[in-house]
Chain A
Amino acid sequence: MTDTGAGGTNRLGQGVEAMQGEAVDAAGKERKSRWRFAWWLIFIAGSLYFFLPLLGTFAFSLKDRPFGSAYTKILADPQFFSTLGYSFVIGIITIIVSISIMVPTAFWVRLRMPRARPIVEFITLLPFVIPPIVLVFGLIRTYSQPPLPFTHTSIGSTALLVCAYVVLSFPYMYRAVDTGLRSMDVQSLTEAAQSLGAGWIRILVQVILPNLRVAILSGAFLTLAIVVGEFTIALFLARPVFAVYLSRLGDTAPYQQSAVALISFGLTWIAMGLIAVIGRGGRGRITVTGNR
Chain B
Amino acid sequence: MTDHALPPAIQGAPPARPGRRFSLTWFGLTPFLLFSTLFLLIPAAYLVVGSFTGQDGRLTLDNYAGLTAPLPLNAYLTSIEISLVTALAGGIFGFLMAYAVISGGLPRFLRISLFTFAGVASNFAGVPLALAFIFTIGRLGLLTTFLVGLGFNPYDAGFSLYSKIGLEIVYLYFQLPLMILIIAPAIDGLKKEWREASENMGASQVQYWRYVALPVLLPSLLGAMVLLFGNAFGAQATAYQLTGGFINIVTILIGNQLTGDVLHNVGVGYALAMGMVVILGVTLIAYSWLQRRSERWLR
Q: Do A and B come from one complex?
A: yes
A: which residues have CB within 8 A of B?
32, 35-36, 39-40, 42-43, 46, 49-50, 52-57, 59-60, 100-102, 104-105, 108-109, 112-113, 115-116, 120, 123, 125-143, 163-164, 166-167, 170, 187, 190-191, 194, 199-200, 225, 229, 231-232, 235-236, 243, 246-247, 250, 257-258, 260-261, 264-265, 268-269, 271-272, 276, 286-292
B105 to A36, Cβ gap below 8 A? Answer: yes
7 A-B pairs with CB atoms under 8 Å apart are A42-B100, A113-B15, A132-B236, A133-B236, A137-B269, A288-B122, A292-B231
A102 to B32, Cβ gap below 8 A? Answer: yes
Q: Is B280 engaged at the interface, CB distance under 8 Å to the other chain?
A: yes
B128: chain A residues at CB < 8 Å are 229, 246, 260-261, 264-265
B29 to A292, Cβ gap below 8 A? Answer: no
A203 to chain B, nearest CB (A): 11
A286: chain B residues at CB < 8 Å are 119, 122, 178, 181-182
Known contacts A46-B97, A261-B128; A125 and B142 CB within 8 A of each other: no
B38 to A163, Cβ gap below 8 A? Answer: yes
Given contacts A42-B93, A257-B131, could you give 9 more A-B pairs where the C-beta distance is less than 8 Å?
A: A36-B104, A113-B26, A123-B40, A131-B251, A134-B276, A163-B39, A166-B39, A235-B255, A243-B126
Counted as pairs of residues, one from A and one from B, with CB atoms less than 8 Å apart, the total is: 266
B127 to A142, Cβ gap below 8 A? Answer: no
Q: How many chain-B residues does the 8 Å CB contact rule pick out?
A: 91
Question: Would you list which residues of chain B between 25 and 60 have a CB under 8 Å from chain A?
Answer: 25-26, 28-29, 31-33, 35-36, 38-44, 46-47, 50
Q: Is B243 engaged at the interface, CB distance under 8 Å to the other chain?
A: no
A287: chain B residues at CB < 8 Å are 119, 123
A48 to chain B, nearest CB (A): 10
B: which residues have CB within 8 A of A?
2-3, 6-7, 9-10, 15, 25-26, 28-29, 31-33, 35-36, 38-44, 46-47, 50, 93, 96-97, 99-101, 104-106, 110, 114, 116-117, 119-129, 131-133, 135-137, 141-143, 172-174, 176-178, 181-182, 230-238, 240-241, 251, 254-255, 257-259, 269, 273, 276-277, 280-281, 284
